[in-house]
Chains A and B, each alone.
Chain A
Amino acid sequence: MALERKEVEEIALLARLHLEPDELERMQSELGAILEHFGALAQVDTTDVAPMTHAVPKDMQLRADEPQPSLSASEALAAAPKREGDLFVVPAIISGEP
């Protein structure tokens, strides 16, 4: 199944994944080749088959809404690439003229 270059670019944007031009090209052909093998799935009649979302049937349980010990702010921030005091620093989200 062939993929358009534009489609590959769109998926990369959705995935927040920068790809160099040569990577995009390779991805286009490789993904296309892999998707070829998935054609077999479409041939299978799955009418009335409930999708299996987890390996073991188990109801999601909520834990008691009680505070538990957790990481301190300094532990949680210890590996941050950029921080200021007890805050993670990110590039400006809102830009433009004031």
Chain B
Amino acid sequence: MTAYWSIADTVRNIVSGEITATVLVETMLDRIGKLDDKLGAYLTIDKAGALGQAAAIDQKRKAGQPLGALVGVPISLKDNLVTKDLVTTAASKILDGWVPPYDATVVAKLRAAGAIILGKTNMDEFGMGSSTERSAYQPTKNPWDTARVPGGSSGGSAVAVAAGMCVGSLGTDTGGSIRQPAAFCGTVGLKPTYGRVSRWGVIAFASSLDQVGPITRTVADAAALLQVICGHDPRDATSLDTPVPSFREALGGDVKGLRIGIPAEYFGGDIDPQIRAAIERAVAALVERGADTVDINLPHTELALPAYYLVAPAEASSNLSRYDGIRYGKRVDATDLLEMYSKTRGAGFGPEVKRRIMLGTYALRSGYYDAYYRKAQQIRALIKKDFDKAFRFCDVVLTPTTPTAAFEIGAKATPFEMYLADIFTLSCNLAGLPGISVPCGLTDNNLPVGVQLLGKPLDEATLLRAGQVIESAVGLGDRRPPGAAS
């Protein structure tokens, strides 16, 4: 069934002529038309653009020209990735209708590889949230249970992938925004090592934490997308000039002798018993195939949340100062400049974004900087040291991705309750490590559970290899979400 083709299937079928890119894109657009009114994954569907890209690919194939690694693969992009001539809003009213004049580096790389962009996916405004409820435009429903959230902030991408409304997607992850929705929707989500993937053209939230990565249905698909988007970009000063290995070669390998670190701090009393059971099955699957478990400690884990919620809002308050009503985006007219700035921003930002700007401004304010921002950065150093030490005894760290399965829409009453949804994913960003969430079964309520693997810097390959072993042993296989039945 075309809707659930893998990247490898899609490329093979396009190259062999089994299907034309045009027919494939028409089929996907048709499916989106049938499903997305109910699910709300897409903010913008680029019908004309996608069909144009498909026609160009069909032409190229006919002419016998070389085809890219992702030729004809229909993908979606989180709406904070800037796309030339295609509306990009970061799900914020302050960017309502904004048409960027350029492509983000990751977008240009995907286009060059022959991927077809179907549209832009919903998210929490500027990436600030864990449920996609904080989009200024629409809620997105979890296809496994439409009364529940898909997670966030890359919720639209996770739903589009889970429901077969694209083959793969790119999200961004500042504190868990790829891995947490991937877990809630039964998809694979990978946050690369900080610096692995260019941030040029990614609408900035917290620059020392943001990273772009794939959300896909399989580990092999994640490897295929990652392969294309990685690499040094001189336009991003934090981009690493490091060779990119072949991630495909990492797949299919065994895990014999792989040391799996199990951190006591992630297995406390707060985890849902069904999550715990599913994670234990994932561990058992690795052990059965020759991996060894090692008990480790990450003693500063509980400080990750307060450190993150100072560092990220502080950087956000600075990054979001660019929305001033002058060069692009919304503007509320006023008689003087100060009033124009503050009226524009007051009208353009949603409640969670305002909260984070306020929190960040508070933490950076003169007289408070040492007590909050600098202190949080010191804690960040301690968290990184915990991992450095742990990786002397293990090769990957294994944890649940989330303490619970997807929660109900409207369930998190206070901002802080929502912040707790990311409790297991924040440390990875603070330490700059790569992390992956892989499905490892369903709860009794038929909700997906994700297991998280964290790796040494630049060691995405080991995450993919171990992730694939988990996938084949306890993954979802051909089980599809009921909300994706058209």
Contacts and interface: CB of A to CB of B under 8 A. Distances in A.
User: Do A and B come from the same complex?
Assistant: yes
A17 B334 contact: no
> Chain B interface mostly helix, strand, loop or mixed?
helix
Contact of B101 (A11, A27, A78): A78
Interface stretch (B126-134, B266-274, B375-383): B375-383
Contacts of A79: 98-99, 101, 327-329
Contact of B361 (A11, A49, A82, A95): A11
Contact of B354 (A27, A37, A38): A27
B18 to A, nearest CB: 40
Interface residues on B, range: 35 or more
A82 B342 contact: no
A52 B378 contact: yes
A98 to B, nearest CB: 17
B384 A58 contact: no
Interface string B310-348: 100000010001001111111101111111111101110
Nearest to B317: A15
Interface bracket on A: 35 or more
A15 B432 CA distance: 28
Contacts of A20: 346
Nearest to B371: A42
B209 interface: yes
Interface in A7-37: 8, 11-20, 23, 27, 30-31, 33-35, 37
Interface in A75-98: 75-76, 78-82, 88, 90-93, 95
Interface centre among B321, B361, B376, B430 (most CB of A within 10 A): B361
B354 A40 contact: no
Contacts of B325: 81
A65 B329 CA distance: 31
Contact of A34 (B237, B309, B376): B309
Contacts of B38: none
B354 A19 contact: yes
Nearest to A49: B378
Contacts of B379: 41, 44, 46
B482 interface: no
Give the interface centre of A63, A80, A91, A95 by most chain B CB atoms within 10 Å. Answer: A91
Interface of A: 8, 11-20, 23, 27, 30-31, 33-35, 37-38, 40-42, 44, 46, 49-56, 58, 60-61, 63, 71, 75-76, 78-82, 88, 90-93, 95
5 A-B pairs closest in CB distance: A55-B432, A18-B346, A51-B377, A81-B331, A55-B194
22 contacts: A12-B358, A19-B346, A20-B346, A23-B351, A34-B355, A34-B415, A37-B416, A38-B310, A41-B310, A41-B372, A44-B303, A54-B238, A58-B240, A60-B237, A78-B101, A79-B98, A80-B326, A80-B327, A80-B328, A81-B330, A90-B326, A91-B337
